[in-house]
Amino acid sequence: MSAAVLLSQLKGLLDKTEHLNGKFSKVYPTGDQWDTLSNLSSRLSEAAKTVQEEIRVLLESRSDRAWKESEEHRSKAQSCRGDLFAKGRLKQPAVFRRNIVTIFKGPKTSTFDSEDIKFKNESTLKRCELIRGLSPDGVISWAMAFAPTLWAGGSISADIFTCLLDDIEPELVQTWPQVIRDTLHKLMEDEESLKKSPEYQEFLQALDDQSRKPVKNRKRRRTEDEIEQVKSATEDALSPSNESREMKYMYTNAPASNISNLPEPFRTAVENSRLWKWERSQELVTTGCLANWWCSSPDEEEVREFGNEIIAYTMNK
């Protein structure tokens, strides 16, 4: 059941109830009918209180609810980006192209569109505008991850759309595989609307700007550990690397930019880690996420050798 249907039903019940006002004084119920009226009015009052309480609880938890319900979509976005860097090609090129055209052109319209379709198109236009407000890396990440049928007006809720929008920005400026730029420029040649779009021209120019900075993203921190940290401002100021761990760093505090050279799935794993997010929130230019270590483990030689391979790969890029 959609929210619109639920609102309509609730409004209908309210209208019918309000129409009863003043009618009770014009009737003369029997003794049994008085008992029934009293019972029904009590049940109506309890039902109204239940609805009111349910709405209050849902209103207070709407952001957490949307965050949990959007988890599958957010994971897919991370996976799509990792897959692109690992294979150098788009998993769903048709979806990417259709998204780019829709984002910068808007949905297709017709004079024969019904009122419902017109309403959905207006909602889609507003969402396109919000997506265009992302950085070039954010727009590209969105276009490769979510089909228009998922995010267009009348599909996912506004709360889930906002969650996806807040989470889609990469932590670092991306060096996209050549297939991305080739596709974007071919689209401009193929789509007249993109040729005439100043925003699309600005988008391409910003993408080609090698000096562009990462956007201060709006990612929400929703893990249980991070929610617990809100209890103490002092705890928020502490790096997760200060927690008790059985290891000794031998190579650490590497430039944060080195992370962009890591192969997948290591790069995505680092960018999703608590330490990486904390370092970015503190605007540090180095990171402790890339390190060589000794740990108290029977397999420490294998662990250390694995770390050496990652470091060597990164330093040679």
Between strands 286-287 and 254-255, the pairing is antiparallel
- Domain holding 161, by residue range, is 66-208
Determine contact, residues 252/279, Cβ cutoff 8 Å. no
Backbone angles phi, psi at 216, to 5 degrees: -65, 100
pLDDT of residue 289: 77
Whether 213 is covered by a domain: the verdict is no
Whether 6 is covered by a domain: the verdict is no
Whether 194 is covered by a domain: the verdict is yes
Same domain, 72 and 204: yes
Same domain, 245 and 290: yes
pLDDT of residue 60: 78
249, β-bridge pairs: 293
Whether 289 is covered by a domain: the verdict is yes
Same domain, 169 and 303: no
pLDDT of residue 202: 96
| C-alpha span between 48 and 37 (Å, rounded) | 16
Count CB-CB contacts under 10 A for residue 114. 9
| C-alpha span between 101 and 143 (Å, rounded) | 10
Whether 227 is covered by a domain: the verdict is no
Whether 286 is covered by a domain: the verdict is yes
Whether 129 is covered by a domain: the verdict is yes
pLDDT of residue 242: 52
Number of domains in the chain: 2
Same domain, 176 and 285: no
| C-alpha span between 128 and 130 (Å, rounded) | 5
Determine contact, residues 150/164, Cβ cutoff 8 Å. no
List the chain pLDDT tens, one digit each, 317 residues. Answer: 677 788 888 899 888 888 888 888 888 889 898 899 899 999 999 998 999 888 888 777 788 899 999 999 999 999 999 999 999 999 999 999 999 999 999 999 999 999 999 999 999 999 999 999 999 999 999 999 999 999 999 889 999 999 999 999 998 899 999 999 999 999 999 999 999 999 999 999 999 887 888 776 555 444 444 444 444 444 444 555 555 444 444 445 677 777 887 887 778 888 888 787 777 777 677 787 776 554 555 555 555 555 555 555 555 55
Question: In the block, which residue shows the tokens 């995505």?
Answer: 268
Q: Is the four-CA dihedral 153, 156, 157, 162 of positive or negative sign? A: negative
pLDDT of residue 94: 96
Domain end (from 208, 225, 257) = 208
Same domain, 78 and 160: yes
pLDDT of residue 231: 45
DSSP H/E element including 9: helix 3-19
pLDDT of residue 133: 95
Same domain, 200 and 255: no
Same domain, 247 and 307: yes
Determine contact, residues 169/219, Cβ cutoff 8 Å. yes
Read off the pTM: 0.59
Count CB-CB contacts under 10 A for residue 41. 11
pLDDT of residue 141: 97
Q: Is 4 helix (H, G, I), strand (E, B) or coil?
A: helix
Determine contact, residues 99/146, Cβ cutoff 8 Å. yes
| C-alpha span between 125 and 152 (Å, rounded) | 9
Same domain, 168 and 293: no
Same domain, 124 and 199: yes
| C-alpha span between 103 and 69 (Å, rounded) | 24
pLDDT of residue 308: 56
